[in-house]
Structure 1
């Protein structure tokens, strides 16, 4: 790991600082200075400046709500994902990524000198942020590698911890949850604009995410090479439910809705500013007056979404959307069939056509307010490279058709990173896994999401059987909550982590191929077609379907170079 001896040759560590004259804009500022520990951490302002670097060090994605499920069964490009295909090879060189661990531990080793001259309330926000980031850093490591060394201080070349074994993943999970408990204790409870500093409620959201992840992992990977010794999934499910419920009951956030079920879901993700949005908890603001030319802040989301450019949503996701009566499409008279995309979208959960573009939707509005409908591009689909859509289903979630906002490289479209809807879904799933879910629980979690789009309530005593449930051995309510999660969070980067924690690659990935809509809908088509007439873009590349290795591919390999440096490190299952 990059905490190894070769990283401690330098006497002083230098870290980037942000110009933090205005807190609300620090996400948009560039590093302008550097410092060493002997002259730093004497004032709360110095603590804040140091912590600002974590907001802009890859900890948050540019825009989490734009087409980021390509490593799952939700989205597909023209080439197979290597993890899903099972073709990754063991890493021979490289590091696991402990740079951020070292950086955050530097903070904890040095911040206490501020205590001598300042009261806690002058710096507790920054202390809370440090705990939050250490938890987030370790959660990323745990998701990638499972077991992980828990390091809480900056190491030297003589530190024995350099050569310690990895700690068990459940110990890592407990450590992360503890860090987030501390974060929640110190962080402000104010809602803020969401583009400034994190708050207590964000810590609880991530705590519910971590606990739900570990509880699911321990339950569904039990008895496999990825299981833990003495698993206790209910402990984590209970913590997930507790953290999410505290956030829900606080009433600080609510599901965004203007009362228009036909457009509110789509409108949420296409907004230009989330400062007053009731649902958005944290977002990245782009301001060219502050960030133009900064590589970390280059942004052109709307511009890139004008054409599919070989990226599309799968039939598997499209089929998951219920009909307008709250029942599955299988055997449902409301389902319009697959002959056209318009008929497929008819009488469906409105999130279908607010996520997937349909021909009747406005696609471009120019500076003269002249409009272009998606049907004009739809008729040409797959006729040129930028219009190639392997599945035919084009994502519109997160897209704004006003061309004035489409700017290559220097676009100011915001990045939505955390939203309240996740807390609602985490709560419902955790309670269902505990076996304690009630109708009242559903009404405080799933109902607001369905109300936004005008869908019928989910009723515990009236769940329609779906012959195409992904998980037929699990209870109907867990199947439906997982469906709700898939639909609500589609293309926001959750799906692979859900598949991993549910140990669901055998049901969803192995031997499958991503499919598309009825190929006859497009005049020109460079992609293969299956026996039923649906687009089958990876048919030739994956004649037997994805080759995901169930005993290996849920975790990444430990680079061999790291094991050579520390013979107490063990390789992850299947990579030996």
Structure 2
């Protein structure tokens, strides 16, 4: 039942809140929620402690992809616009240099063997803990590069507090050991408690992390990339070969993709490897409300990446109708276009009396969208979901589509992606929306590709990933691992829709559109003070807070360029 999982989530939230007190800069554990040595007596204690990590699992949110070339938030992203400065103590918005989670995991792993439980049960909860430790340290590496790796719990006198930074690759090799332990020791979904991580969730995380690490090593010239990419392919195969999962479809290519993300119950959905579940008046969120008023929108560059219905890019397809209106732009395009972006006929909201607020023109000049390409992925038209903090739509943590994309990309990077691989990965995603299969023998390089030097197969797999996983928090990480930060400089990444005079004249309220600034080609300029952003290679890593460098000089030097 859904309520069972909610209990876990609430217990988790209470534990997280109870552990928010800071002990100077150390964030040491344990806090008084778990008194040593009276805790860790039995399985219930192990489970209760591990519950405290579950709220760290990332899900789609209203700001997803705002830090990339996919979206253009009204307020500039500080990092991508060059306005980010080295924090003194911590990033005021994102307290990332915070080792509480890593220390909490190590505290558990130093003590879980005390429990009066079988070796299998103890290994299961150790696997949960190591799953989270792998995720936590990977997140640190993504942000800072070389970071201290430690496996003990700490106190004020621990010498590990002054460890130097461990090389990136060495940390990630240790992360891989944790992931392998998790996959080997977590139960099959049928034997796992509902809402808890299991073998295939761990394999999905392993595929995600190893693909990121392997391609990061490759495209940043670090070496030793192929073994990690191989690990990604192997982990994805574990999930695929399980036969437990599949792509969600009801046979409606014009709505299935959209409907996938507005479901109140993902338990039993074959695409949901792991989901965060919500229940009315018990545990709810605010995503639908935020997506209706969060002043962002897809970029012109993202929208141009949709293929036409013949499987060709707009630069090559005779079916492309141009972009003088959103209706023309959506014509003959991948059906995910109208399931990601609000176009004419989309029901924005249904009121209490059943009345429908239907999109006729893009809602530019309002808080609904900055670009005219309004995101509707994850946004329900239901009034109940619109009410502030009342949404009960379940959210994906691990989705089978991501695993298929990871497998296709990994096999292509290994030089092993044949038609059979494409048929069980990319083709399944395209089939859901009625798009033609990707045929290896007929692929044609897009002359306007963002990756002109890349082979056509990898180029098209990256395109498919960009579309399928849009607004799910993957794009910035992808740009990092592909060494593709320069794509941020493309002027189209901060432009919106084309607003020709004939379309502008159709707006009943001309005050809504009269002050919009357009570029020389008629596209909405979201930022009137710049025509493009500038990427600096130092932005592949964030800076370490300066106070941390002072407290532990072994962390020096600061990340390059900061």
**Do the two structures share a fold, i.e. TM-score over 0.5?**
yes
Paired position in structure 2 for 1:146? 145
Task: Give the CA deviation at 1:253.
Answer: 0.8
Q: Report SS of the residue matched to 2:441.
A: coil
Number of equivalences: 530
Paired position in structure 2 for 1:165? 164
* Maintained 8 Å contact 1:447/1:458: yes
* Maintained 8 Å contact 1:145/1:572: no
Q: Using the alignment, how far apart are the partners of 2:429 and 2:191 within structure 1?
A: 23
Task: Give the CA deviation at 1:271.
Answer: 1.0
Paired position in structure 1 for 2:100? 99
The correspondence for 2:526, drawn from 494, 517, 537, is 537
Query: Aligned in 2, Cα 1:119/1:77: closer, same or farther, shift over 3 Å?
Result: same
The correspondence for 2:340, drawn from 346, 351, 355, is 355
Paired position in structure 2 for 1:18? none
Does residue 485 (structure 1) correspond to residue 465 (structure 2)? The answer is yes
Paired position in structure 2 for 1:495? 475
Paired position in structure 1 for 2:536? 549
Q: Report SS of the residue matched to 1:311.
A: coil
The correspondence for 1:390, drawn from 337, 356, 370, is 370
Q: Using the alignment, how far apart are the partners of 1:254 and 1:397 within structure 2?
A: 20
* Maintained 8 Å contact 1:555/1:572: no
CA deviation vs aligned residue, 1:94-142 (integer Å, no higher than 9, x gap): 371111111111101111111xx32123343322211111111111111
Does residue 303 (structure 1) correspond to residue 289 (structure 2)? The answer is yes
Instruction: Show the 5 A alignment for 1:42-53.
Output: 42-53=41-52
Q: Using the alignment, how far apart are the partners of 1:208 and 1:44 within structure 2?
A: 29
Query: Aligned in 2, Cα 1:553/1:511: closer, same or farther, shift over 3 Å?
Result: farther
Q: Using the alignment, how far apart are the partners of 2:353 and 2:380 within structure 1?
A: 16
Task: Give the CA deviation at 1:570.
Answer: 2.2
Task: Give the CA deviation at 1:192.
Answer: 7.5
Q: Report SS of the residue matched to 2:496.
A: coil
Task: Give the CA deviation at 1:562.
Answer: 1.0
Task: Give the CA deviation at 1:572.
Answer: 4.3
Q: Using the alignment, how far apart are the partners of 1:253 and 1:168 within structure 2?
A: 37
* Maintained 8 Å contact 2:142/2:541: yes
Q: Report SS of the residue matched to 2:442.
A: coil
Q: Using the alignment, how far apart are the partners of 2:411 and 2:139 within structure 1?
A: 24
* Maintained 8 Å contact 1:300/1:408: yes
Q: Using the alignment, how far apart are the partners of 1:469 and 1:191 within structure 2?
A: 44
Task: Give the CA deviation at 1:66.
Answer: 4.4
* Maintained 8 Å contact 2:69/2:487: no
CA deviation vs aligned residue, 1:426-460 (integer Å, no higher than 9, x gap): 11111111112111111111111011111111111
Paired position in structure 2 for 1:258? 250
Task: Give the CA deviation at 1:168.
Answer: 0.8
Instruction: Show the 5 A alignment for 1:384-463.
Output: 385-387=366-368, 389-463=369-443
Does residue 31 (structure 1) correspond to residue 14 (structure 2)? The answer is yes
Q: Using the alignment, how far apart are the partners of 2:245 and 2:198 within structure 1?
A: 12
Q: Using the alignment, how far apart are the partners of 1:23 and 1:286 within structure 2?
A: 9
Paired position in structure 2 for 1:225? none
Q: Using the alignment, how far apart are the partners of 2:120 and 2:469 within structure 1?
A: 37
**Normalised by the size of structure 2, how large is the TM-score?**
0.90
Q: Using the alignment, how far apart are the partners of 1:510 and 1:345 within structure 2?
A: 22
* Maintained 8 Å contact 1:83/1:548: no
* Maintained 8 Å contact 2:131/2:182: yes
Q: Report SS of the residue matched to 2:273.
A: strand
Instruction: Show the 5 A alignment for 1:275-294.
Output: 275-291=267-283
Paired position in structure 1 for 2:178? 179
The correspondence for 1:473, drawn from 437, 443, 453, is 453
Mark the runs of 5 or more structure 1 residues left unpaired by the alignment: 1-20, 223-227, 292-296
Does residue 232 (structure 1) correspond to residue 224 (structure 2)? The answer is yes
Instruction: Show the 5 A alignment for 1:47-66.
Output: 47-56=46-55, 59-61=56-58, 63-64=59-60, 66=62
Q: Using the alignment, how far apart are the partners of 1:452 and 1:218 within structure 2?
A: 33
* Maintained 8 Å contact 2:113/2:122: no
Q: Using the alignment, how far apart are the partners of 1:340 and 1:53 within structure 2?
A: 49
Instruction: Show the 5 A alignment for 1:305-320.
Output: 305=291, 307-320=292-305
Q: Using the alignment, how far apart are the partners of 1:572 and 1:288 within structure 2?
A: 47
Q: Using the alignment, how far apart are the partners of 1:131 and 1:345 within structure 2?
A: 45
The correspondence for 1:368, drawn from 345, 353, 356, is 353
Q: Which moved more, 1:359-368 or 1:236-245?
A: 359-368
Q: Report SS of the residue matched to 2:110.
A: helix
Q: Report SS of the residue matched to 1:364.
A: strand
* Maintained 8 Å contact 2:248/2:260: yes
* Maintained 8 Å contact 1:194/1:274: no
* Maintained 8 Å contact 1:44/1:122: yes
Query: Aligned in 2, Cα 1:50/1:355: closer, same or farther, shift over 3 Å?
Result: same
Q: Using the alignment, how far apart are the partners of 2:332 and 2:457 within structure 1?
A: 23
Q: Report SS of the residue matched to 1:553.
A: helix
Query: Aligned in 2, Cα 1:22/1:518: closer, same or farther, shift over 3 Å?
Result: closer
Paired position in structure 1 for 2:21? none
* Maintained 8 Å contact 1:128/1:187: yes
Q: Report SS of the residue matched to 2:525.
A: coil
* Maintained 8 Å contact 2:106/2:153: yes
Mark the runs of 5 or more structure 2 residues left unpaired by the alignment: 19-32, 91-95
Query: Aligned in 2, Cα 1:346/1:511: closer, same or farther, shift over 3 Å?
Result: closer
Paired position in structure 2 for 1:78? 74
Q: Please tell me the root mean square deviation across aligned C-alpha atoms, in Å.
A: 2.1
Query: Aligned in 2, Cα 1:499/1:513: closer, same or farther, shift over 3 Å?
Result: same
Paired position in structure 2 for 1:108? 109
CA deviation vs aligned residue, 1:6-47 (integer Å, no higher than 9, x gap): xxxxxxxxxxxxxxx946631144527822121100101000
Paired position in structure 2 for 1:516? 496
* Maintained 8 Å contact 2:89/2:546: yes
Q: Using the alignment, how far apart are the partners of 1:275 and 1:315 within structure 2?
A: 36
Q: Using the alignment, how far apart are the partners of 1:90 and 1:169 within structure 2?
A: 21
Q: Using the alignment, how far apart are the partners of 1:157 and 1:390 within structure 2?
A: 49
* Maintained 8 Å contact 2:308/2:320: yes
